[in-house]
Amino acid sequence: GSYFRSHSITTLGWIWVSIVPLLGSLLLSTQYQQLEQLNVTGIWEQVGLTLILALLVGLAFLPTTFTALASGFFWGWALFPHLVIAYLLANVLGYSLGKWLNADFRTILYARQPSLKEQIEKRIEQPAGLVFFVRISPVIPFAISNFLFASLGIPLSKIIRFGLPGMLPRTILAFASGMAAQSFLEAQASLKDPQDWLILGLLLVGSIWGIWHFWNKKNPKS
Protein backbone atom coordinates (compact mmCIF):
# COMPACT_ATOMS: atom_id res chain seq x y z
CA GLY A 1 0.00 0.00 0.00
CA SER A 2 2.74 2.46 0.88
CA TYR A 3 4.50 1.69 -2.40
CA PHE A 4 1.48 2.64 -4.48
CA ARG A 5 0.73 5.69 -2.35
CA SER A 6 4.21 7.02 -3.04
CA HIS A 7 4.18 6.09 -6.74
CA SER A 8 1.14 7.77 -8.24
CA ILE A 9 2.15 7.17 -11.88
CA THR A 10 2.76 3.50 -11.14
CA THR A 11 -0.64 3.24 -9.51
CA LEU A 12 -2.26 4.78 -12.58
CA GLY A 13 -0.36 2.27 -14.70
CA TRP A 14 -1.77 -0.68 -12.77
CA ILE A 15 -5.28 0.79 -12.96
CA TRP A 16 -4.82 1.28 -16.71
CA VAL A 17 -3.77 -2.32 -17.44
CA SER A 18 -6.62 -3.59 -15.26
CA ILE A 19 -9.47 -1.56 -16.77
CA VAL A 20 -8.62 -0.19 -20.22
CA PRO A 21 -8.43 -3.58 -22.03
CA LEU A 22 -12.01 -4.26 -20.97
CA LEU A 23 -13.12 -0.84 -22.20
CA GLY A 24 -11.29 -1.47 -25.46
CA SER A 25 -13.17 -4.74 -25.92
CA LEU A 26 -16.48 -3.02 -25.34
CA LEU A 27 -15.59 -0.29 -27.85
CA LEU A 28 -14.52 -2.79 -30.50
CA SER A 29 -17.73 -4.76 -29.94
CA THR A 30 -19.75 -1.73 -31.03
CA GLN A 31 -17.43 -0.35 -33.73
CA TYR A 32 -16.26 -3.56 -35.38
CA GLN A 33 -17.82 -2.58 -38.72
CA GLN A 34 -14.79 -0.36 -39.32
CA LEU A 35 -12.54 -3.44 -39.47
CA GLU A 36 -14.57 -4.92 -42.33
CA GLN A 37 -13.27 -2.13 -44.56
CA LEU A 38 -9.60 -2.90 -43.91
CA ASN A 39 -7.89 -4.53 -46.88
CA VAL A 40 -4.96 -6.60 -45.62
CA THR A 41 -3.57 -8.33 -48.71
CA GLY A 42 -0.19 -6.79 -49.48
CA ILE A 43 2.95 -7.22 -47.42
CA TRP A 44 3.00 -3.60 -46.28
CA GLU A 45 -0.61 -3.77 -45.14
CA GLN A 46 0.25 -6.88 -43.14
CA VAL A 47 3.31 -5.22 -41.60
CA GLY A 48 1.27 -2.15 -40.74
CA LEU A 49 -1.48 -4.21 -39.13
CA THR A 50 1.12 -6.19 -37.16
CA LEU A 51 2.57 -2.99 -35.73
CA ILE A 52 -0.88 -1.61 -34.93
CA LEU A 53 -1.87 -4.80 -33.11
CA ALA A 54 1.43 -4.75 -31.21
CA LEU A 55 0.75 -1.21 -30.03
CA LEU A 56 -2.88 -1.89 -29.10
CA VAL A 57 -2.01 -5.00 -27.10
CA GLY A 58 1.32 -3.77 -25.73
CA LEU A 59 -0.21 -0.53 -24.45
CA ALA A 60 -3.19 -2.47 -23.04
CA PHE A 61 -5.86 -0.97 -25.27
CA LEU A 62 -7.07 -4.48 -26.16
CA PRO A 63 -6.75 -7.89 -24.46
CA THR A 64 -4.98 -10.69 -26.32
CA THR A 65 -7.89 -13.15 -26.45
CA PHE A 66 -10.34 -10.65 -27.93
CA THR A 67 -7.67 -9.48 -30.39
CA ALA A 68 -7.11 -13.06 -31.53
CA LEU A 69 -10.87 -13.57 -31.90
CA ALA A 70 -11.25 -10.47 -34.09
CA SER A 71 -8.15 -11.32 -36.13
CA GLY A 72 -9.44 -14.80 -36.87
CA PHE A 73 -12.85 -13.53 -37.92
CA PHE A 74 -11.72 -10.65 -40.14
CA TRP A 75 -8.47 -11.94 -41.65
CA GLY A 76 -8.15 -15.71 -41.16
CA TRP A 77 -5.14 -17.99 -40.84
CA ALA A 78 -3.04 -15.91 -43.24
CA LEU A 79 -2.69 -13.32 -40.48
CA PHE A 80 -1.94 -15.75 -37.65
CA PRO A 81 1.89 -15.54 -37.97
CA HIS A 82 1.59 -11.75 -37.94
CA LEU A 83 -0.54 -11.96 -34.79
CA VAL A 84 2.15 -14.02 -33.05
CA ILE A 85 4.78 -11.46 -34.07
CA ALA A 86 2.52 -8.68 -32.81
CA TYR A 87 2.22 -10.48 -29.47
CA LEU A 88 6.01 -10.76 -29.21
CA LEU A 89 6.41 -7.04 -29.91
CA ALA A 90 3.62 -6.27 -27.45
CA ASN A 91 5.48 -8.34 -24.88
CA VAL A 92 8.56 -6.16 -25.27
CA LEU A 93 6.53 -2.94 -25.14
CA GLY A 94 4.37 -3.91 -22.16
CA TYR A 95 7.32 -5.31 -20.21
CA SER A 96 9.46 -2.23 -20.88
CA LEU A 97 6.68 0.05 -19.71
CA GLY A 98 6.12 -2.06 -16.60
CA LYS A 99 9.82 -2.10 -15.81
CA TRP A 100 10.02 1.69 -16.11
CA LEU A 101 7.03 2.21 -13.83
CA ASN A 102 8.02 -0.45 -11.27
CA ALA A 103 11.79 0.00 -11.30
CA ASP A 104 12.25 0.06 -7.51
CA PHE A 105 9.46 -2.34 -6.52
CA ARG A 106 11.68 -5.15 -5.25
CA THR A 107 14.01 -2.72 -3.47
CA ILE A 108 11.14 -1.26 -1.45
CA LEU A 109 9.53 -4.67 -0.90
CA TYR A 110 12.75 -6.21 0.46
CA ALA A 111 13.37 -3.20 2.69
CA ARG A 112 9.98 -3.73 4.35
CA GLN A 113 9.89 -7.54 4.13
CA PRO A 114 13.48 -8.85 4.23
CA SER A 115 12.24 -12.41 4.70
CA LEU A 116 10.78 -12.42 1.18
CA LYS A 117 14.06 -11.61 -0.55
CA GLU A 118 15.54 -15.10 -0.50
CA GLN A 119 12.27 -16.77 -1.52
CA ILE A 120 11.60 -14.45 -4.44
CA GLU A 121 15.17 -14.21 -5.70
CA LYS A 122 15.57 -17.98 -5.64
CA ARG A 123 12.45 -18.46 -7.73
CA ILE A 124 12.90 -15.73 -10.31
CA GLU A 125 16.35 -17.11 -11.15
CA GLN A 126 14.51 -20.07 -12.71
CA PRO A 127 11.14 -18.59 -13.72
CA ALA A 128 10.09 -21.07 -16.42
CA GLY A 129 7.19 -22.54 -14.46
CA LEU A 130 5.86 -19.20 -13.22
CA VAL A 131 5.96 -17.53 -16.65
CA PHE A 132 4.43 -20.48 -18.49
CA PHE A 133 1.56 -21.08 -16.09
CA VAL A 134 0.75 -17.38 -15.68
CA ARG A 135 0.58 -17.02 -19.46
CA ILE A 136 -1.57 -20.12 -19.90
CA SER A 137 -4.13 -18.85 -17.40
CA PRO A 138 -7.35 -17.59 -19.03
CA VAL A 139 -8.04 -15.22 -16.12
CA ILE A 140 -4.70 -13.37 -15.75
CA PRO A 141 -4.66 -10.58 -18.36
CA PHE A 142 -1.64 -10.23 -20.62
CA ALA A 143 -1.03 -6.59 -19.64
CA ILE A 144 -1.16 -7.31 -15.91
CA SER A 145 1.22 -10.26 -16.23
CA ASN A 146 3.70 -8.02 -18.11
CA PHE A 147 3.67 -5.59 -15.19
CA LEU A 148 4.00 -8.49 -12.74
CA PHE A 149 7.02 -9.98 -14.52
CA ALA A 150 8.65 -6.56 -14.84
CA SER A 151 8.10 -5.81 -11.14
CA LEU A 152 9.80 -9.09 -10.19
CA GLY A 153 12.69 -8.39 -12.54
CA ILE A 154 12.32 -11.57 -14.60
CA PRO A 155 14.47 -11.23 -17.76
CA LEU A 156 12.52 -10.41 -20.91
CA SER A 157 14.24 -13.17 -22.88
CA LYS A 158 12.87 -15.77 -20.47
CA ILE A 159 9.39 -14.25 -20.56
CA ILE A 160 9.33 -14.60 -24.34
CA ARG A 161 10.91 -18.05 -24.28
CA PHE A 162 8.53 -19.57 -21.75
CA GLY A 163 5.57 -17.25 -22.15
CA LEU A 164 4.84 -17.70 -25.85
CA PRO A 165 4.09 -21.45 -25.54
CA GLY A 166 1.78 -20.61 -22.64
CA MET A 167 -0.13 -18.05 -24.71
CA LEU A 168 -0.66 -20.24 -27.76
CA PRO A 169 -3.47 -22.56 -26.51
CA ARG A 170 -6.03 -19.83 -25.74
CA THR A 171 -4.82 -17.70 -28.66
CA ILE A 172 -5.42 -20.55 -31.11
CA LEU A 173 -8.78 -21.31 -29.48
CA ALA A 174 -9.95 -17.70 -29.82
CA PHE A 175 -8.54 -17.35 -33.33
CA ALA A 176 -10.23 -20.54 -34.54
CA SER A 177 -13.52 -19.52 -32.91
CA GLY A 178 -13.39 -16.24 -34.79
CA MET A 179 -12.70 -17.99 -38.11
CA ALA A 180 -15.57 -20.43 -37.68
CA ALA A 181 -18.17 -17.73 -36.94
CA GLN A 182 -20.54 -16.29 -39.54
CA SER A 183 -20.74 -12.88 -37.87
CA PHE A 184 -18.64 -10.97 -35.36
CA LEU A 185 -21.41 -11.15 -32.78
CA GLU A 186 -21.50 -14.91 -33.29
CA ALA A 187 -17.72 -14.98 -32.91
CA GLN A 188 -17.99 -13.31 -29.51
CA ALA A 189 -20.69 -15.74 -28.43
CA SER A 190 -18.72 -18.75 -29.69
CA LEU A 191 -16.34 -18.59 -26.73
CA LYS A 192 -19.31 -19.43 -24.53
CA ASP A 193 -19.75 -22.88 -26.13
CA PRO A 194 -19.49 -25.77 -23.64
CA GLN A 195 -16.43 -27.26 -25.35
CA ASP A 196 -14.62 -23.93 -25.20
CA TRP A 197 -15.53 -23.51 -21.54
CA LEU A 198 -14.16 -27.00 -20.93
CA ILE A 199 -10.85 -26.13 -22.55
CA LEU A 200 -10.64 -22.82 -20.68
CA GLY A 201 -11.52 -24.61 -17.45
CA LEU A 202 -8.70 -27.11 -17.99
CA LEU A 203 -6.27 -24.26 -18.70
CA LEU A 204 -7.39 -22.50 -15.52
CA VAL A 205 -6.98 -25.59 -13.37
CA GLY A 206 -3.61 -26.28 -14.95
CA SER A 207 -2.41 -22.72 -14.37
CA ILE A 208 -3.52 -22.70 -10.73
CA TRP A 209 -1.79 -26.00 -10.09
CA GLY A 210 1.34 -24.90 -11.94
CA ILE A 211 1.68 -21.57 -10.10
CA TRP A 212 1.04 -23.24 -6.75
CA HIS A 213 3.55 -26.00 -7.51
CA PHE A 214 6.16 -23.51 -8.69
CA TRP A 215 5.89 -21.34 -5.59
CA ASN A 216 5.85 -24.20 -3.09
CA LYS A 217 8.58 -26.44 -4.41
CA LYS A 218 11.77 -26.18 -2.41
CA ASN A 219 14.34 -26.12 -5.22
CA PRO A 220 12.95 -24.35 -8.31
CA LYS A 221 14.56 -25.41 -11.56
CA SER A 222 13.98 -24.32 -15.14
| Chain segment 32-79, per-residue pLDDT in tens | 877 777 777 788 888 999 999 999 999 999 999 999 999 998 888 989
pLDDT tens-digit profile of 181-220? 888 877 777 666 666 777 778 888 888 888 888 877 755 5
Task: Provide the pLDDT confidence category of residue 222 given band limits of 50, 70 and 90.
Answer: very low
pTM of the model: 0.85
pLDDT above 80 (res 3):
no
CB 161 within 8 A of CB 28: no
Task: Provide the pLDDT confidence category of residue 105 given band limits of 50, 70 and 90.
Answer: confident
pLDDT tens-digit profile of 108-158? 778 787 877 877 888 778 888 889 999 999 889 999 999 999 988 899 999
